[in-house]
């Protein structure tokens, strides 16, 4: 994965074509097997993938679903979260985390984040819970911790708060499957953990896909029912209102092929992150680390001094054939869709990060030469 070719053209922010060339035979074999048996919905590969994901994370059960967003929705549906309920979640994350409570009629309550690790801030969470209880119009029901950019949220503190406040705790691990916390693979830090297999994720499919991890077998059975229209023991026994949220067999096949080399890819991502740390220190603010953890490095995000400097650096990178991205250009509480639901609380860290953050390429196909080019371009 690190062979240098001397190529000096544009660097790919994400290079799925190169990955496909590397693992092509295994991919084709897996896909051809599905084409032969033609069980395109809930074929045997889905169960095989569920078993392997659960074993990887050390969880008792895994339920494959159609996307990371649907994973969040199924978990919240299982808890009967709806109108009048408050779901606490970070303001600095992807929209899916916030849209699901609204789809179910609940209200997302936005929480600020740590300025260096970008993870949800426990102190801000306590304050936001107090705000909601004081206002008295919503019932605090759940906390969604997001393992942002590959790193874990501060789960020890989040569990303590959830227990004290009697809140359901959910781990949105869409970006961070493969990461670890206190030596444990992510997947068991909350009552339920949701995964996304969007193509850009460290373990990504060739389309949408997701999964739910849990140690609660009764909840796992409920998730299986909800992903398939609320079915009971037979297809035409409908026990509850569910949804069509199944994981496609072809996506499961792709993920099984990728899972074989997943640990090696995680190790390469860590190598690149450490090279960036060493090469960029002093030029930008490198990402802070959550103590006693390992990142899956879905995103390597640095901070510039201000928005003007970020624009200057991005222009320079582009001129050198180096891509960059901004995750996220606006915190959720300021997005048009969510502003009407926000109580007006100031979330200064999330607002500041959006003006200064910039993501650099980090994927297993990057060569050492390309990594050096990225560093040189950032440093100018």
Question: Are residues 196 and 248 both part of a single domain?
Answer: yes
Question: Are residues 156 and 243 both part of a single domain?
Answer: yes
Within-domain flag for 117: yes
What average pLDDT does the chain have? Answer: 97
Facing residues of 231 across strands? Answer: 238
Is residue 210's pLDDT more than 70?
A: yes
Q: Which domain holds residue 348?
A: 261-379
Distant-in-sequence, close-in-space partners of 162: CB < 8 Å, separation ≥ 6: 143, 168, 169
Is residue 310's pLDDT more than 70?
A: yes
Within-domain flag for 131: yes
pLDDT > 90 fraction of the chain, expressed in percent and rounded: 97
At 174 the pLDDT is: 98
Within-domain flag for 9: no
Within-domain flag for 12: no
At 328 the pLDDT is: 97
- Among the listed residues 323, 340, 321, 339, the one whose alpha carbon sits nearest the alpha carbon of residue 331: 339
CATH number, position 161: 3.40.640.10
pLDDT confidence band for 6 (50 / 70 / 90): very low
pLDDT confidence band for 77 (50 / 70 / 90): very high
Q: Which residue has the tokens 């969007």?
A: 198
Question: Are residues 32 and 97 both part of a single domain?
Answer: yes
Question: Are residues 144 and 173 both part of a single domain?
Answer: yes
Q: pLDDT per residue over 150-183, tens digit each? A: 999 999 999 999 999 999 999 999 999 999 999 9
- Among the listed residues 106, 189, 119, 187, the one whose alpha carbon sits nearest the alpha carbon of residue 149: 119
At 184 the pLDDT is: 97
Question: Are residues 185 and 78 both part of a single domain?
Answer: yes
- Our count of domains for the chain comes to 2
At 233 the pLDDT is: 87
**What are phi and psi for residue 376, nearest 5 degrees?**
-65, -40
CATH number, position 268: 3.90.1150.10
Question: Are residues 238 and 289 both part of a single domain?
Answer: no
On whether the CB atoms of residues 146 and 172 are closer than 8 A, the answer is yes
At 8 the pLDDT is: 74
Question: Are residues 316 and 195 both part of a single domain?
Answer: no
Helix axes 217-227, 68-78, angle to 10 degrees: 120
Q: pLDDT per residue over 249-277, tens digit each? A: 999 999 999 999 999 999 999 999 999 99
C-alpha–C-alpha distance, residues 376 and 374, integer Å: 5
Sheet holding 210-214, edge to edge: 61-65, 210-214, 192-196, 168-172, 139-146, 85-90, 107-111
Is residue 107's pLDDT more than 50?
A: yes
Is residue 15's pLDDT more than 90?
A: yes
pLDDT > 70 fraction of the chain, expressed in percent and rounded: 98
Is residue 133's pLDDT more than 50?
A: yes
Question: Are residues 253 and 174 both part of a single domain?
Answer: yes
> Mean pLDDT lowest for which of 5-9, 35-39, 59-63, 270-274?
5-9
Is residue 375's pLDDT more than 50?
A: yes
At 52 the pLDDT is: 98
pLDDT confidence band for 5 (50 / 70 / 90): very low
At 339 the pLDDT is: 97
Within-domain flag for 17: no
Distant-in-sequence, close-in-space partners of 192: CB < 8 Å, separation ≥ 6: 75, 170, 171, 212, 213, 214, 216, 219, 223
Question: Are residues 228 and 273 both part of a single domain?
Answer: no
Question: Are residues 224 and 282 both part of a single domain?
Answer: no
At 7 the pLDDT is: 53
């Amino acid at each position: 994965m690190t062979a240098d070719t001397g190529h000096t053209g544009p660097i790919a922010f994400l290079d799925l074509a190169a990955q496909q060339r590397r693992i092509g035979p295994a991919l084709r074999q897996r896909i051809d097997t599905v084409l032969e048996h033609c069980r395109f919905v809930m074929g045997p590969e889905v169960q095989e993938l569920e078993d392997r994901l659960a074993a990887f994370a050390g969880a008792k059960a895994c339920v494959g679903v159609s996307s990371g967003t649907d994973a969040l929705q199924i978990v919240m549906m299982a808890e009967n979260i709806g109108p009048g309920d408050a779901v606490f979640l970070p303001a600095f994350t992807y929209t899916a985390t916030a849209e699901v409570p609204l789809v179910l009629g609940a209200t997302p309550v936005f929480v600020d984040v740590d300025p260096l690790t970008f993870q949800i801030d426990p102190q801000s969470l306590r304050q936001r819970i107090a705000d909601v209880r004081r206002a008295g119009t919503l019932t605090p029901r759940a906390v969604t911790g997001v393992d942002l950019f590959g790193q874990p949220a501060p789960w020890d503190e989040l569990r303590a708060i959830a227990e004290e406040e009697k809140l359901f705790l959910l781990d949105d691990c869409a970006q961070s499957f493969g990461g670890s916390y206190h030596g444990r693979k992510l997947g068991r830090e909350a009552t339920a953990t949701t995964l996304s297999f969007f193509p850009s994720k460290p373990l990504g499919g060739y389309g949408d896909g997701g999964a739910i991890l849990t140690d609660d077998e009764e909840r796992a059975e409920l998730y299986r029912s909800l992903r398939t229209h609320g079915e009971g023991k037979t297809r035409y026994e409908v026990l509850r209102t569910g949804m069509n949220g199944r994981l496609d067999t072809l996506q499961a096949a792709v993920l099984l092929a990728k899972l074989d080399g997943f640990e090696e890819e995680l190790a390469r991502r860590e190598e690149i992150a450490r090279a960036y740390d060493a090469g960029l220190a002093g030029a930008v603010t490198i990402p802070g680390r959550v103590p006693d953890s390992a990142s899956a490095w879905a995103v390597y995000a640095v901070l510039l001094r201000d928005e003007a400097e970020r624009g200057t650096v991005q222009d320079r990178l582009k001129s050198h054939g180096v891509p960059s991205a901004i995750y996220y250009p606006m915190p959720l509480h300021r997005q048009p869709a969510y502003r009407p639901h926000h109580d007006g609380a100031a979330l200064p860290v999330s607002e500041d990060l959006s003006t200064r953050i910039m993501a650099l390429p980090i994927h297993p196909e990057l060569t050492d030469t390309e990594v050096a080019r990225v560093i040189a371009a950032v440093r100018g």
